[in-house]
Amino acid sequence: MNPEKEAERARWRIEKHLELKKELQQNQQLKDFLADAYPNTIDDFIDQYAKKKLDLLEWGPKYKEWLEKDDLVWLEDATQRLGEILQKKLFDAQCLWRAEKMEIKQLKLTCDFNYWEDNIFRCPFIEPITQSDIDIYMQYLQSSNFENQQGWLDRWQDYKSIKAAEQTGNANRNFPDWYDFHNGRTGLGVYLLLPDVRGDKEEFYLNLWRIETMKKGKQLQKQWEQEKKQQLENPDMPIAPEADRRPFLNYSKKGWLTWFVNTYEDKQTQEIFRRYGGERAFDDYDEYIEDDLDMLGKADKPVAVQGWFDWKEAIHKAADNYRKEKIMEALPSAFEQYRMKVDMGIPFEEKKPLLPDDWYNQAILRGRELNGDPFDFNF
C-alpha cells in the first residue's frame, strides 16, 4: 500500500465530499423540498447523503468487479480479526490501568479507551501482534465458540458491562467469546478480578456533578412553573413561542433513500445506485440469510450443508464454517501486511471516535472543583 496514494485518495474524498455538499445546498429543487423539514436535521441529512453519494461514485462502478475478488474480501475480513486481537490486549491494559497496576501516559480518564478502541491499530501502549497471538486466534477460529461479530451496539472496551457479563451474567450484553477463549488459553481472566480503583474515583466526582446538575434542573423547573402561573394570571404577558412542528428528515426509513435518488438524482447516479446494490448496500442489518446465501453461492469449492430443524440456521452454520476457513487462509497474509506497516513505521489511518467524551471530561473537572481539588485530571 503506497502511503502517497493513500494520502492523495484521502484528500480527494474530503474535497469531493465538500463539493457534493455544496451541490446539494445549491440545488433549488432540493431547497424547495427541504423548506418544510425540521431545520436542525437538514445539515445532517445533506452531510450523510453526500457521504453515501461519495461511496457510490468511488466504489459503485467497480462494485461488481470487487465482489468477484474474494481474496480481497477475505483479506479485509482477516485484518478486522487482527483488530480483535489488539482489542483483547487493550482490554487487559484497561483492567490493569483501572486497578492502578499500570501507568499509561496517553490516558487521563477511563473514557479515553473509547478513542483507542476506535483507533486500535494506532494504539501506542499495547504490544504489537505476535505469531503467538496469531496461533491462539487460529485455535479460536477452529473452535465451536467462534463469534463472527458482536452485537452492533456492543463495544470491545465496554468495561463495566463486560465485567458484569463475566461475573454475574446480569449484564445487558454477552461476554465476548474471543475474550473468553483467550482467557482460557492464557489465564489472563484473573485481570477481571482486579478492583476498579480508577473508575470508583471518577464516579465520586461524577456524583458531585450530578447532584449539582439535578439542583439546577429543579431550579429551572420551578422557574418555568412560576412563569407559567404568571402567564395564566396575566393574559397580556408574552407567551413563549410554540414548538416547531415541522417534520424531521427520517432518511433511515426503509425505501426513503431509493425514493430520494430516483427523485433528485440524474440518470447516471441512479444507474450507479442500482448496480451498487441500491438501498440494501447501505442498510442490510436484517438480511444475514441473503448475505450467507450470496457468499456460499460464490464459494470457490462445494460447501456441505448439514441437516438442521431450521433451514436458515443450517445455512448460517455452513456459511460460518466456510467463513472460518477463508479467514484462516487469509490471516497469515493480513498479519504479514500488518507487520510490514509496523516494522516500517507506516501510520495506520486515524478514525474519528464514535463516542465523543467532552461532556465526561467537563463533568469530572467540575466534580473536582466542587470537591475543592485542582482543576485537572491528576488524581
Per domain, the residue ranges of the chain are 1-68+253-283, 196-240+358-379
Question: Do 235 and 242 form a contact (C-beta atoms < 8 A)?
Answer: no
When computed from its CA atoms, the radius of gyration of the chain, rounded to whole angstroms, is: 26
Question: Do 260 and 251 form a contact (C-beta atoms < 8 A)?
Answer: yes
Q: Is 242 helix (H, G, I), strand (E, B) or coil?
A: coil
Buried b / exposed e over 81-99, threshold 16 CB at 10 Å, is bbebbbbbbbbbbbbebbb
Closest listed residue to residue 333, CA positions, set 127, 128, 78, 132: 78
pLDDT of residue 150: 86
Ranges of residues in the chain whose predicted pLDDT is under 50: 66, 284-286
pTM: 0.65
pLDDT of residue 232: 74
pLDDT of residue 217: 84
Q: Which long-range contacts (CB under 8 A, 24 or more apart) does 320-323 make?
A: 320/146, 320/148, 322/295, 322/296, 323/77, 323/148, 323/295
Backbone angles phi, psi at 30, to 5 degrees: -70, -40
The C-alpha cell that represents 74 in the structure block: 477475505
Q: What's the number of CA atoms in the CB half-sphere (13 Å) around residue 122?
A: 15
Helix (H) or strand (E) holding 82: helix 70-98
Q: In Å, how far from its chain's centre is CA 358?
A: 18
pLDDT of residue 280: 65
CA 56 – CA 50 distance, rounded (Å): 10
Question: Do 206 and 363 form a contact (C-beta atoms < 8 A)?
Answer: yes
pLDDT of residue 249: 76
CA 291 – CA 235 distance, rounded (Å): 63
Q: Which long-range contacts (CB under 8 A, 24 or more apart) does 304-313 make?
A: none
CA 48 – CA 251 distance, rounded (Å): 9
pLDDT of residue 344: 87
The C-alpha cell that represents 116 in the structure block: 483507542
E strands present in 224-373: none
Question: Do 36 and 246 form a contact (C-beta atoms < 8 A)?
Answer: yes
CA 141 – CA 77 distance, rounded (Å): 13
The C-alpha cell that represents 12 in the structure block: 480527494
Q: In Å, how far from its chain's centre is CA 199?
A: 23
Which residue type is seen at 288? Y
pLDDT of residue 40: 80
The C-alpha cell that represents 313 in the structure block: 440456521
Helix (H) or strand (E) holding 354: none
pLDDT of residue 286: 40
Nearest 5°: CA angle at 203, between 200 and 208?
A: 140
CA 7 – CA 100 distance, rounded (Å): 39
